[in-house]
Amino acid sequence: MKEGQQVQFIRDDQAPLKSEVTSLVAAMLACGFKYASDKPLLDTIEEVNGAPKRSVTWSMDGSVKAAFNDETIDLAEFRQRFENRDWCQTHPDHPIAYLRAFNDALSLLRTQLRLMKPLMLIRKGRSFALIPQDADPAKKTELLSML
């Protein structure tokens, strides 16, 4: 930590790759905010009452400001806007609203992709069949008979 630096902590109890906070931190970095140190993430698991408890803490440099056209905002204001869907809908042309929309679309897409299973590709000469992995044997036989 540097002299005069203001450190702001952003905490969560979810794994960093599953946490909404990670998206917030990425959006902050894209807008010019900085980590407070070269090791900004503290990800710990401790045993509390016989059960694991996760704690994730990001340390951000609170003295850095982000500039958007005619305004400059601090980390707290950025977070408030990014996490507020109503604000983003009221200000759809603001860069923070774009970041939030991208984040929401990416999250939805990832959820949909997790539910999808790859299709089996069967080739016979120049013909091919695409068979769902969970297709029943009769459906597989029917699709393969069309080759």
Domain count, the chain: 2
Residues 106 and 124 in one domain: no
Residues 41 and 57 in one domain: yes
pLDDT digits (tens, 9 = 90+) for 7-45: 999 999 999 999 999 999 999 999 999 999 999 999 999
Distance CA(79)–CA(107), nearest Å, equals: 18
Residues 140 and 78 in one domain: no
Is residue 127, in this structure, part of any structural domain at all?
A: yes
Distance CA(37)–CA(12), nearest Å, equals: 19
Is residue 52, in this structure, part of any structural domain at all?
A: yes
Token representation of residue 40: 């900004």
State how far the alpha carbon of 119 is from the alpha carbons of 19, 34, 134, 142, in Å. Answer: 30, 43, 9, 16
Which of 147, 146, 143 shows the shortest CA–CA distance to 133? 143
Average pLDDT, the chain: 93
Is residue 36, in this structure, part of any structural domain at all?
A: yes
Host domain of residue 126? 118-147
Residues 48 and 104 in one domain: yes
Entry pTM: 0.80
pLDDT of residue 147: 84
Residues 77 and 91 in one domain: yes
Is residue 2, in this structure, part of any structural domain at all?
A: no
Residue 7 sits at the vertex; the CA angle it makes with 75 and 33, to the nearest 5 degrees, is 40
Is residue 86, in this structure, part of any structural domain at all?
A: yes
Residues 36 and 91 in one domain: yes
**Mean pLDDT score, 93-99:** 96
Residues 99 and 146 in one domain: no
Is residue 1, in this structure, part of any structural domain at all?
A: no
Residues 68 and 125 in one domain: no
Higher-pLDDT residue of 1, 89: 89
Token representation of residue 91: 């200000």
Contact 82, 100 (CB under 8 A): yes
The angle that helices 75-83 and 95-115 make with each other, rounded to 10 degrees, is: 50
Name residues whose C-beta falls within 8 Å of residue 131's C-beta, 6 or more positions apart in sequence: 119, 120, 122, 139, 140, 143, 144
